[in-house]
């Protein structure tokens, strides 16, 4: 019984966190322009998205920025791992492994 | 050896330079701007005044600040009440599931919180999904007016900030030895007594850290009250944004921003003082 209540409680919290995401996903197939009413299933918005080069360009810019703001591996990895690798004796599992995994 | 030292100071120096350029200097600029004045042709001009701060201490602003602090408190308490049992369940879940459960807590962040807030509109609307569901179940006759009220802002902020509360709580609870509770129960403590005397004090660090992570962003997040609260509920974050973007009164906006920063500094100092004190207490 106790585990049942716990499971239900955790499920409710996850539902709270995920319900808006699900709603957003479902409404992306809405034929209506506004999210207020459901006007039937359609893939209009996805087709429009693929046709909108400006938006796709913007997405590409976002991806580029995200890629470079992620610490750039060749520069940042030696910086981050230097203190780890230097102090580990051979044979011991270095903390590099745990950093990388 | 010397090589290693140089490398270490280089990497630390890089971060320090970054922080100076993008955190310290902008804050100094805001602080300076708060003492400058403004004319019709220039955002910031020379005569140094306290006008920005004078304007701050009026009943209108005091009301906004009190409302923001009150709402942030409510959000923090809601997140704590909702998150504490939840973090407890996560921390005591079977080990093989724990990792997945934590990842599931982080996945909603992959979607922009602005978009998730818009999704909440579709749910909280008078003709939205929540009202439709409640009316179909026969629980209510007329749709509830939630959207564009304070409750909507409360729900939205709780929704956005709940993971920030759960993660520190989880970290604190997972470290707690389950045997302490068993010992307390064996020695005749009731469930409530063991909760109040064992679990809550020992997970205090997580409670305080989580509350900070929820309370401070709740003060500053301006887009959630903007989208869900309508025009009625101006909070301190919206107020600062409006001074910069709409009223174009940069000195006043800067003064309000410095005031908000001061509130946060006071709270973080209290937190730091509290944690060092408890740590010393633990050592005794």
In this predicted model, what pLDDT tens digit does every residue of B61-117 receive, in sequence order? 888 888 889 999 999 999 999 999 999 999 888 888 888 888 888 888 888 888 888
Among A15-19, A41-45, B175-179, the minimum mean pLDDT is found in: A41-45
B70 interface with A at CB cutoff 8 Å: no
8-state DSSP, B107: G
Q: Which residues contact B138 (CB under 8 A, 6 or more apart)?
A: none
CATH tag for B59-283 (out of 1.10.3720.10, 3.40.640.10, 3.40.50.620, 3.40.50.300):
1.10.3720.10
User: Is there a contact between A17 and B159 if contact means CB atoms under 8 Å apart?
Assistant: yes
Find the mean pLDDT for residues A12-28: 87
Q: Are B159 and A36 in contact (CB < 8 Å)?
A: no
The two structure tokens encoding residue A95: 């903390």
Using CA atoms, how far apart are residues B198 and B230, in angstroms rounded to an integer? 43
Give the whole-angstrom CA distance, residue A28 versus residue A35.
9
Which pTM value belongs to this model? 0.77
Domain segments of chain B as ranges: 59-283
B193-203 residue pLDDT tens: 888 888 888 88
User: Distance (Å, rounded) from C-alpha A18 to C-alpha B137?
Assistant: 22
Distance CA B223, CA B241 (A): 10
* Chain B CA closest to residue A34: B122
**Around A37, how many Cα atoms within 13 Å sit in the side-chain half-sphere?**
2
As given in the structure block, the two tokens for residue B274 are: 């509290």
How far is B36 from B51, CA to CA, in rounded Å? 8
Q: Where do we find the tokens 């320090």? A: B16
> Does residue B143 sit at the A interface (CB-CB below 8 Å)?
no
Asked whether the beta carbons of B111 and A25 are under 8 A apart, the reply is: no
Write out pLDDT tens, residues A25-81.
888 887 777 666 677 787 888 888 888 888 888 888 888 888 877 655 555 554 544
Question: Is the interface score ipTM higher than 0.85?
Answer: no
Is the CB of residue B158 less than 8 Å from the CB of residue B81?
A: no
How far apart (Å, rounded) are the C-alpha atoms in residues B7 and A56? 41
Pick from B156, B145, B152, B148: which is nearest to B117 by CA? Answer: B156
Strand partners, A30: A41
The SS3 assignment for B56 reads helix
């Amino acid at each position: 019984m106790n585990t049942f209540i716990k499971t239900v409680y955790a499920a409710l919290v996850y539902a709270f966190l995920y319900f808006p995401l699900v709603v957003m996903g479902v409404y992306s197939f809405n034929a209506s322009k506004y999210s207020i009413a459901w006007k039937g299933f359609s893939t209009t918005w996805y087709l429009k998205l693929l046709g909108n080069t400006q938006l796709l360009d913007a997405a590409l810019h976002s991806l580029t920025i995200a890629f470079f703001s992620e610490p750039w591996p060749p520069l940042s990895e030696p910086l981050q791992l230097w203190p780890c690798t230097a102090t580990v004796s051979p044979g011991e599992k270095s903390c590099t492994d745990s950093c990388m995994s | 050896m010397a090589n290693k030292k140089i490398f270490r100071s280089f990497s630390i120096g890089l971060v320090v330079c970054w922080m100076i350029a993008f955190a310290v200097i902008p804050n100094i600029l805001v602080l300076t701007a708060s003492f400058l004045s403004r004319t019709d042709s220039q955002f910031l001009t020379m005569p140094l005044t306290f006008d920005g701060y004078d304007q701050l201490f009026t009943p209108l602003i005091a009301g906004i600040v009190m409302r923001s602090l009150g709402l942030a408190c409510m959000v923090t308490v809601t997140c704590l009440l909702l998150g504490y049992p939840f973090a407890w369940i996560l921390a005591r879940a079977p080990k093989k599931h724990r990792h997945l459960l934590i990842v599931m807590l982080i996945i909603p962040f992959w979607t922009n919180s602005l978009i998730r807030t818009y999704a909440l509109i579709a749910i909280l609307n008078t003709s939205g999904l929540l009202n439709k569901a409640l009316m179909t179940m026969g629980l209510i006759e007329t749709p509830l007016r939630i959207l564009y009220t304070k409750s909507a802002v409360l729900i939205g902020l709780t929704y956005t900030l709940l993971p920030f509360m759960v993660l520190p709580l989880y970290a604190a609870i997972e470290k707690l030895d389950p045997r302490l509770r068993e010992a307390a129960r064996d020695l005749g403590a009731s469930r409530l007594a063991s909760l109040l005397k064992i679990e809550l004090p020992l997970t205090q660090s997580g409670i305080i850290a989580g509350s900070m992570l929820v309370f401070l962003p709740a003060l500053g997040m301006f887009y959630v009250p903007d989208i869900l609260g309508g025009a009625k509920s101006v909070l301190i974050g919206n107020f600062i944004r409006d001074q910069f973007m709409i009223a174009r009164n940069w000195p006043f906006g800067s003064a309000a921003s410095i005031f908000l920063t001061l509130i946060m500094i006071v709270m973080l100092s209290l937190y730091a003082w509290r944690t060092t004190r408890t740590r010393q207490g633990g050592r005794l």
